[in-house]
Amino acid sequence: MVVTRKAHQAKRLQRGSLTTELVVAMAILASVMIPLGFSFAYEQKLCRAYYFQAIAMEIIDGEIEVLRAGEWKSFKSGVQPYSVDAKAAKNLPPGQFVLTLHPPDLQLEWMPVKKGKGGRVQRAAVLESPE
């Protein structure tokens, strides 16, 4: 079998176009997958922040109820750190709970140390005056 020069050139041209198609296809795939990967990472970070906020809200809501029931009397007026016994608090990132008490106003908030870890969560309540 004798291969002519034209047949050899046609085969080379075919290989070249196949390589070009492969490069174009990989460029299209990369241009879609890279932004998609970044969006997945962003959504994972956002879900984690919402998770931290939900935990902090649950803890604060429960503690506000306890404080309004009369526990607030064991604290002095002003801004002070507040310790929490909830087991779910160990799932929170580093941060602190802060109680602000100026009767009849009461505020409890959680403040994370680092930014982007759920943000501040706060609840305020008005203490009922005993009559």
Is 88 contained in some domain? yes
Domain count, the chain: 1
pTM above 0.85, yes or no: no
- pLDDT score at 56: 95
2 vs 36 pLDDT, higher one: 36
Is 131 contained in some domain? no
Is 116 contained in some domain? yes
pLDDT digits (tens, 9 = 90+) for 21-55: 999 999 999 999 999 999 999 999 999 999 999 99
- pLDDT score at 58: 96
113, amino acid identity? V
DSSP E strand boundaries for 10-120: 78-82, 95-102, 105-112
Is 103 contained in some domain? yes
pLDDT tier for residue 9 given thresholds of 50, 70 and 90? confident
Question: How many whole angstroms separate alpha carbon 126 and alpha carbon 102?
Answer: 10
Cβ neighbourhood burial of 63 (10 Å; 0-12, 13-18, 19+): buried
Q: For residue 118, how many other CB atoms are within 10 A of its CB? A: 23
Residue 102 DSSP symbol: E
Is 91 contained in some domain? yes
- Domain that residue 15 falls in: 5-126
Q: 79 - beta bridge partners?
A: 100
Is 68 contained in some domain? yes
123 vs 5 pLDDT, higher one: 123
pLDDT digits (tens, 9 = 90+) for 47-96: 999 999 999 999 999 999 999 999 999 999 999 999 999 999 999 999 99
